[in-house]
Amino acid sequence: MARTTTLHPVRPIAALLLCAGLLTGAAHAQTVVAPAAPAATTAPEAATAPAATAPSQVRKANIVIVGTGGTIAGAGASAINTAAYQSAVVPVDKIIASVPEISKVANVKGEQIFQIGSESFNNERLLKLGKRVSELLKQPDVDGVVITHGTDTIEETAYFLNLTLKSDKPVVVVGSMRPGTALGADGALNLYDAVLVASSPESKGKGTLVVLNDEIHTGRDVTKSNTFKTETFRSPFGPLGYVVEGRTLYYRLPARPHTTATEWDIDRIDRLPEVAIVYAYGNANPGSVDAAVRNGAKAIVYAGTGNGSVGEYMVEPLKAARAKGVQIVRASRTGSGVVIRNGEQPDDKYDWVVVDDQLPQKARILTALALTKTNDTRELQKILWKY
């Protein structure tokens, strides 16, 4: 496997692309071994490498990097294409090979499960990814998993895994905002940081994490907030920690149950019910509710204005949908804050439920999971408040 000794994050990927003509075709379901890395930490460079959090760590962690595509696997026509480029073209083994520093902190193995933009994730792909990660976590010789992922829907995948994986081994989802060919590419450092976090014993039991831009976020809270800036990921209550110069620094813990403490096991979920999101706006078309019902929605997350407000012309369609057995989940399009039950609408009277602070796209994930367990409105409400 080609290795590079340069520390520059941009050139290796560009060079690899040019040499190997990698801009065509997607690799599927192949497992590749990363740059040969010795199992022991006695190599001279290990002594001078930054400690991966715990100085007492006696061996390098074994980390599997599962590639799904996204900008971290992207390539642009020129180095100034920081925001216009083709995503999901560079195979995961080539991404790993472009960051040789990784082999100093962990033994890594790459595995390509998809090569897609994350906007193309659907329930089937989510389940396939989750089941594969679950399999890997069960292997005694795997200490943690890193998933390379497009940033658009990283927050949905991370929340889903956070709720369904039954392991306390670290799982870190990572992406980048700029392709490896761009000036100021962020993927190399993000990937290095993600491997560090996945290798850190301190990351055990913290649920599925998202690492980008020097920050560690919980999959529950994190959301993408800007279309092009590297500083796009935010959690309303702040990140859990930082990754700084090879050190994993935690400052807070996830408050809500996750992974081993939830009622879902990815190994036992074979399909997810259809949950639609209907977005509120002035002059919204009431027919969008009926369309969701006709398309088989078992629940509608209503991304209302403000505190989950529902325009007067949308109330009847939503009530009619509920009368047909479709659950109505009031959420907010504002981007943060809790939705108050019986606040803007009489939820008790209409038999509707509200989110806690979950954004509509996260509420969709949680509602779909909840519906695998119950269709009782009170139980659904409890679940939305719990996770």
Residue numbers in the known binding site for substrate are 118, 151-152
256: left (phi over 0), alpha (psi -120 to 50) or beta: beta
| Residue 175 binds to ligand DGL (criterion: CB under 6 A) | yes
Minimum CB distance to ligand DGL, residue 105 (Å): 24
The catalytic site residues sit at: 71, 151
Our finding on whether 117 is near ligand DGL (CB under 6 A) is yes
Please state the separation of Cα 266 from the chain's center in Å: 15
Q: By the 8 A CB rule, do 313 and 357 touch? A: no
Task: Assess 231 for contact with ligand DGL (CB under 6 A).
Answer: no
Per-residue x/- mask for ligand DGL, residues 84 to 113, rule CB under 6 A? ---x--------------------------
The footprint of ligand DGL on residues 21-50 (CB under 6 A) is none
Q: How far is CA 89 from the centre of its chain?
A: 19
Among 9, 12, 35, 70, binds ligand DGL (CB under 6 A): 70
CA dist 108 and 20 (Å) reads 22
Report d(CA 222, CA 3) in Å as an integer.
Answer: 34
89 touches 73 (CB < 8 A) = yes
Q: For ligand DGL, which stretch binds (CB under 6 A), given 42-50, 66-74, 248-256, 305-313?
A: 66-74
Phi-psi region of 205 (alpha: psi -120 to 50; beta: other; left: phi over 0): left
Residue 173 or 314: the one with the smaller Cβ distance to ligand DGL is 173
Q: How far is the CB of 151 from ligand DGL (least distance, A)?
A: 3
67 binds ligand DGL (CB under 6 A): no
Instruction: Please report how close the Cβ of residue 158 comes to ligand DGL at its closest, in angstroms.
Output: 13
Q: Which lies closer to ligand DGL via its Cβ, residue 213 or residue 235?
A: 213
CA-closest candidate to residue 67, choices 43, 41, 95: 95
Task: Please name which of 287, 360, 171, 317 lies closest in space to residue 368, comparing C-alpha atoms.
Answer: 360
Give the Cβ contact number of residue 145 at 10 Å: 25
Which of 53, 112, 134, 151: binder of ligand DGL (CB under 6 A)?
Answer: 151
Find the binder of ligand DGL among 96, 113, 163, 177 (CB under 6 A): 177
214 touches ligand DGL (CB under 6 A) = no
**Nearest Cα to Cα of residue 218 among 285, 275, 288, 170:** 170
Q: What does the radius of gyration of the chain's CA atoms come to, in whole angstroms? A: 22
User: Residues 350, 263: contact at Cβ < 8 Å?
Assistant: no
Distance CA 142, CA 129 (A): 16
126 part of the interface to ligand DGL, by CB under 6 A: no
CA angle, 266 as apex, 379 and 385 as ends, to 5°?
A: 30
Residue nearest to ligand DGL (CB): 150
Report the 10 Å Cβ neighbour count for 35.
18
Which part of the chain contacts ligand DGL (CB under 6 A), choosing from 35-43, 58-66, 68-76, 275-283? Answer: 68-76
Beta 144-148 vs 61-69: how paired, if at all?
A: parallel
Among 118, 134, 164, 213, binds ligand DGL (CB under 6 A): 118
Binding-site residue total for ligand DGL (CB under 6 A)?
Answer: 12
Minimal distance in Å, beta carbon 213 to ligand DGL? 12
Gap between the Cα atoms of 73 and 130, Å rounded = 20
> Which of 53, 62, 71, 262 touches ligand DGL (CB under 6 A)?
71
Q: Annotated binding residues, as ranges?
A: 118, 151-152
Q: How is residue 64 written in tokens? A: 């599997």
Nearer to ligand DGL, 52 or 65 (CB): 65
Minimum CB separation of residue 87 from ligand DGL in Å reads 4
Residue numbers of the site for ligand DGL (CB under 6 A)?
Answer: 69-71, 87, 117-119, 150-152, 175, 177
